[in-house]
């Protein structure tokens, strides 16, 4: 089955700790995206990558970091510099903007900072 | 950043009723997408629109790409309890296409059996 997987589903961390959220896709998509969702708000873009070994900041990149060493994987690290990290994090992928803008989402990871 | 104005913010309807929601933008978009999100899950793509004036259906769902390229609407006919969830519109800009989407704030739909 082709799709996007995110792990873990729920994640708890203590203040001051870095944590890495996993995102893997087997859709052979070129582009991948990370979003943050807070209650009552739309999705806000954190980082995106259109090709391996390249990524760009989104609207709310401060306190986050990413890597794109493989086409299938786009992990997101929430650093201790992120002031309010408790949120629902969503990963998405796209075939490549030249092929259309439809993004397909993973099931999400809910991060709670204790 | 760029915002989409999505309305209404929430709806509470009776099963069998029709539903309508819309999104407007201050900028021209070349793509409008509609997603549904169930609680605690990722959004699922419902309908994609790529051409101004385009009207597309997916079962009981119908969406249209506005002629001005600055708006879109989604209609759900004969609602059923499983229609409950949050519906998001999303658009991407005409120029400098990076595949980035701008999302509306969502319409929360509740259906009373």
pLDDT digits (tens, 9 = 90+) for B67-92: 999 999 999 999 999 999 999 999 98
Q: Is there a contact between A42 and B43 if contact means CB atoms under 8 Å apart?
A: no
More confidently predicted of B27 and A34: A34
Q: What does DSSP say about strands A109-113 and A54-57: parallel, antiparallel, or unpaired?
A: unpaired
Q: How confident is the model at residue A32 (pLDDT cuts 50, 70, 90)?
A: very high
Judge contact between A51 and A37, C-beta under 8 A. no
Please tell me the predicted confidence (pLDDT) of residue A111: 96
**Average pLDDT over chain A, rounded to an integer:** 92
Residues of A with Cβ-Cβ distance to B4 under 8 angstroms: 42
Residues of B with Cβ-Cβ distance to A41 under 8 angstroms: 105-106
> Looking at the predicted structure, is the pLDDT value of residue B94 above 60?
no
Q: How confident is the model at residue A42 (pLDDT cuts 50, 70, 90)?
A: confident
Please tell me the predicted confidence (pLDDT) of residue A96: 72
Give the CA count within 13 Å in the CB-facing half-sphere of B81.
2
| Tokens 């993004």 found at | A103
> Looking at the predicted structure, is the pLDDT value of residue A85 above 70?
yes
Please list the residues that pair with B108 across neighbouring strands: B10, B86
Distance, in angstroms, between A85 CA and closest chain B CA? 17
Q: Residue window 9-68, chain B: list those with CB within 8 Å of chain A.
A: 30-31, 33, 35, 40-45, 48, 50
Chain A contact for B4 (CB, 8 A cutoff)? yes
Cα–Cα distance between B11 and B13 in angstroms, integer?
6
> Looking at the predicted structure, is the pLDDT value of residue B24 above 90?
yes
Cα–Cα distance between A45 and A25 in angstroms, integer?
18
Distance, in angstroms, between A40 CA and closest chain B CA? 7
Rg (C-alpha) for chain B, rounded Å, is: 14
Q: How confident is the model at residue B27 (pLDDT cuts 50, 70, 90)?
A: confident
Q: Is there a contact between B99 and A96 if contact means CB atoms under 8 Å apart?
A: yes
Please tell me the predicted confidence (pLDDT) of residue A39: 84
Residues of A with Cβ-Cβ distance to B50 under 8 angstroms: 100
What is the average pLDDT across A35-48?
91
Distance, in angstroms, between A84 CA and closest chain B CA? 19
What is the average pLDDT across B93-97?
62
Judge contact between B88 and B69, C-beta under 8 A. no
């Amino acid at each position: 089955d082709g799709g996007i997987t995110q792990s873990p589903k729920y994640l708890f961390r203590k203040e001051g700790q870095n944590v890495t959220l996993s995102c893997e896709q087997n859709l052979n998509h070129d582009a991948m995206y990370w979003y943050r969702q807070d209650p009552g708000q739309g999705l806000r873009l954190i980082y995106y990558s259109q090709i391996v070994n390249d990524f760009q900041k989104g609207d709310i990149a401060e306190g986050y970091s990413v890597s794109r060493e493989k086409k299938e994987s786009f992990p997101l690290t929430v650093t201790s510099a992120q002031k309010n990290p408790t949120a629902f994090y969503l990963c998405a992928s796209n075939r490549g903007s030249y092929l259309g803008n439809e993004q397909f989402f993973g099931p999400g990871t809910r991060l709670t900072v204790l | 950043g760029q915002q989409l104005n999505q309305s209404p913010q929430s709806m509470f309807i009776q099963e069998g009723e029709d539903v309508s929601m819309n999104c407007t933008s201050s900028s021209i978009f070349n793509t409008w997408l509609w997603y549904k999100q169930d609680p605690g899950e990722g959004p699922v793509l419902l309908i994609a629109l790529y051409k101004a004036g385009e009207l597309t259906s997916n079962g009981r769902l119908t969406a249209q790409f506005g002629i001005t390229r600055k708006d879109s609407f989604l209609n759900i006919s004969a609602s059923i309890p499983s229609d409950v969830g949050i519906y998001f519109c999303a658009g991407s800009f005409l120029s400098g296409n990076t595949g980035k989407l701008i999302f509306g704030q969502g319409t929360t739909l509740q259906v009373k059996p």
